[in-house]
Structure 1
Amino acid sequence: MTQTAIIVGAGLGGLAAARALEAAGWQVRVLEAGPEVRTFGAGITLTANGLAALDELGVGDAVRDAAVRQLPEGVFTDQGSPLQQGFRTDSSALHAIHRGTLLELLRGDREVETGMRVVSATDASAGGRASVTIEHGAADPDSSDARSERERRRDRARGTKVGRRIHRLLEPGDEPIDRKAEARATKAQVRALRDGRFETIEADLVVGADGIDSAVRRALWPKARTDYSGATTWFGVVQAEADSPSGTRQYLGRRAEFGMEPIDGGRVYWWGMARAPMGGRADDEVAAALRQFDDWAPEVRDHIAATPLAGIARRDLWSLATRLRSFHRPGVVLVGDAAHAMLPTLGQGGSMAFEDAATLGVLLEDHGFERALEEYDRARVDRTQRLQRLAQRVARSTTRTRSPLLVGARNGALNLMPALATEIAVDWVLAWRSPRHTE
């Protein structure tokens, strides 16, 4: 009999997991909380390991065709003086693409059930099937509410996504949902609200791909905590200009960094990260970003100023503070940010999600169900958590470097370090191979 999977979340990791499991012969349902699959957003940079994972998922060539292949131009001071030349080898080549374009390529013609907010999940620890609690027609999870920032921080620390309602979890042996039922429950059950009525959704496997505020993780790893990095980031997409880069360019300043790179459609994706109190927002984020970077290199200010107000976004940077010992429970597995949300300083969040999905698909195809999840842990936990730690160290060298003396020391070290040495230091990241080719 065909095995079934519910994938929670239709972002990059969820759509990648859907591809992987379908290729392994599974019947897949993809649930998305929002009213539609979001194809807008900013850019994403793919390194060799991410592309190798996309090859395993069957979309690598399509992504290469759509993306802009480039070599890093290098690292510069906030005034535009060069600190370190970019890597110039084939292994260091990057492919930059708009996130919406990438989502469309991953989705293809796949059906996604929107307006389905998963608020909890149970595993299959008692021999039943994994299941999830959903709320149909739920409000947009990113919509604003009137709660104070202190309450938002408290909910973040608890792993609770604002606006989600949690129903009571039922384990095997608990009183059944149907109060009139005479038999005790023999499978894991949860309550789901649909048009005022509860329903149960079960599957052989639940894949939690619902991001850093994962409801799946919250239900089954309730002690996991997220952490605010102390930094916020602005990002936008503009049409390429005369002073736009031909490759990825990074600028480092005092407690801040800025980057930009060409993406598909003759556009440039830019981002600016800086220390800031949590929850800060402005009516005009373009003006706010210009204030933050007002004394930086002219091309930095030019690209911010060229961004329409509707085309800029701001997001506080959070990571998963708890290092999970395992990414799976019986019948439930986490991928992407739900498992190992990291700061974006290495540009590896998307690539790690693709590696997760590709690894999971191959292992489920080649091994028995339980062994596949055990092998998934062996392949993914140490690698992703090593990257989490490295991303935090890199963030400290940028957004937490405050004094002119420390800024000068950091810049001097970069100036003396050959680009090749930096590339060798991260070679273990880029050298990922599918489990299909490592046995």
Structure 2
Amino acid sequence: MAQGKPARAVVVGGGIGGLTAAAALLRRGWEVTVLERAGSVEPVGAALSLSPNALRALDVIGAGDRIRDLGAPLGGGGVRTPHGRRLFRTRADAASARFGGPMLLLHRAALVDALIALLPPDTVRTGSPATLADPGGAGRPARVTTPDAELEADLVVAADGIHSAVRRTLFPDHPGPVYTGFTAWRLVIDVPDVECASQETWGRGSIWGTHPLKDGRVYSYAAATVPAGGRAPDERAELLRRFGDWHRPVPDILAAARPEDVLRHDVHHLARPLPAFHQGRVVLLGDAAHAMPPRLAQGGNQAIEDAVVLAHHHTDLPAYTAARLPRTTSVTRQAVRASRVSLTANPVAVAVRNAGLVALSAAGPGLLLRGFDGIVGWRPPQAPYAAEQAGADQQ
């Protein structure tokens, strides 16, 4: 680091984790450049849920209240069978009371826009694929190259996704992501004159989720246990074949969708944890560090946590690894177990699963919510949090 100059960070990847890290490091006085391979940071059309753990982290960078205004509350629907029988009822108020805030759903683009608004102009360079040339070390900076420049940095933040090139450079012997056993479809559309509550439906080896967004559109997703690599000529037709006879509003949503509205991707995760989340002057965060199945809806939430914890430990990268590696390993394993339960295709296991959900519902929401205490109850190391400070100022 040059005498008298601010420390410089280069963030590889302009997704949610990378942008949050950029905003968090800027608040710590760093000079930050974000390199995004794509020509735009506008994410492909899908939504994500944010739980109180991530919202507390967003409070640290001054974005929590803005995101709360953009999101729609989740909950109140529960889980049904394909024929519509209710297995489990959720209560949004019970979750909010237990965890100190609501679960929210918003479009990824809305979150990205809110994060970019925290950054100075020209912080993000799109159309800039980056290669880690040197991870750096004591006494020497890290180096990142793009097609038209070489950048030196006191810190490189690798937020370049599940197929991270930086991760492969740092840990070439790691096996990388593996197929979870299921593929997923997503769509965000208008569904006129159809009432769509927030709920999931669990079948044999398949699920469907429906959640209204605050802007009136509906976010739906589906998953099915199939061999990797499969694609249909018309994915909407494939969804109709698999889910068209499920309870309403599933067929109504499919009737309103166009083939081009449907996105499909196989779901992968990092089954083997990395030995560390840092090497030299480089750190990994988000899917580059701990890609997980989406069944706990924690992928984006954990990336946001990573970012604010990194900013807290920005001068002590081993401390960042120590804080994040055990936690994200645990959350990933829980997400894998949740995927196996919800997407089991064995008829006996399905019957046992459904009976267990009915019993849990009868016992009340507290029993199920207790299992999420360790995930959603997390708080960032920075204090006071924005919301708590506001409350203290009013006293």
From the superposition, tell whether residues 86 and 222 of structure 1 become closer, same or farther in structure 2 (CA, over 3 Å): same
Report how many aligned residue pairs link the two structures.
369
Matched, 1:102 2:111: yes
Among 127, 134, 142, the alignment partner of 1:130 is 142
What's the offset of the Cα at 1:324?
A: 1.1
Return the alpha-carbon distance in structure 2 between the equivalents of residues 268 and 422 of structure 1.
26
CA contact (8 A) 2:244 2:254 kept: no
Return the alpha-carbon distance in structure 1 between the equivalents of residues 182 and 230 of structure 2.
10
Among 61, 86, 89, the alignment partner of 2:90 is 86
Return the alpha-carbon distance in structure 1 between the equivalents of residues 43 and 263 of structure 2.
15
Return the alpha-carbon distance in structure 2 between the equivalents of residues 319 and 128 of structure 1.
33
Return the alpha-carbon distance in structure 2 between the equivalents of residues 19 and 314 of structure 1.
31
Residues 11-410 of structure 1 aligned to structure 2 (within 5 Å): 11-87=15-91, 88-89=93-94, 90=96, 91=99, 93-108=102-117, 110-111=121-122, 112-125=124-137, 127-134=139-146, 136=147, 194=148, 199-224=149-174, 225-246=176-197, 248-364=198-314, 369=315, 371=316, 373-399=317-343, 401-410=344-353
Deviations 1:363-397, CA, capped at 9 Å, x for gaps? 33xxxx2x2x1221121111111011011111111
Counterpart code for 1:435: P
What's the offset of the Cα at 1:243?
A: 4.2
SS of match in other structure, 2:335? helix
Matched, 1:427 2:373: yes
Deviations 1:63-103, CA, capped at 9 Å, x for gaps? 11111123341111122111111034123731110111111
CA RMSD of aligned residues (A): 1.8
What's the offset of the Cα at 1:242?
A: 4.5
What's the offset of the Cα at 1:435?
A: 0.5
Counterpart code for 2:342: T
Return the alpha-carbon distance in structure 2 between the equivalents of residues 8 and 244 of structure 1.
41
Counterpart code for 1:97: L
Q: Which runs of 5+ in 2 are unaligned?
A: 385-395
SS of match in other structure, 2:211? strand
Return the alpha-carbon distance in structure 1 between the equivalents of residues 133 and 240 of structure 2.
43
Among 383, 386, 389, the alignment partner of 1:437 is 383
What's the offset of the Cα at 1:116?
A: 1.0
CA contact (8 A) 1:120 1:218 kept: no
The alignment-based identity, stated in percent, is 39
| TM-score for both structures, normalised by structure 2 | 0.89
What's the offset of the Cα at 1:275?
A: 1.0
CA contact (8 A) 2:278 2:284 kept: yes
Counterpart code for 2:301: S
Moved more, 209-218 or 199-208: 199-208
What's the offset of the Cα at 1:131?
A: 1.4
CA contact (8 A) 1:286 1:305 kept: no
| TM-score for both structures, normalised by structure 1 | 0.81
What's the offset of the Cα at 1:121?
A: 4.0
What's the offset of the Cα at 1:240?
A: 4.4
Q: Which runs of 5+ in 1 are unaligned?
A: 137-193
Counterpart code for 1:106: L
What's the offset of the Cα at 1:299?
A: 1.3
SS of match in other structure, 1:116? coil
What's the offset of the Cα at 1:130?
A: 1.0
Counterpart code for 1:239: D
Matched, 1:414 2:357: yes
CA contact (8 A) 1:122 1:219 kept: no
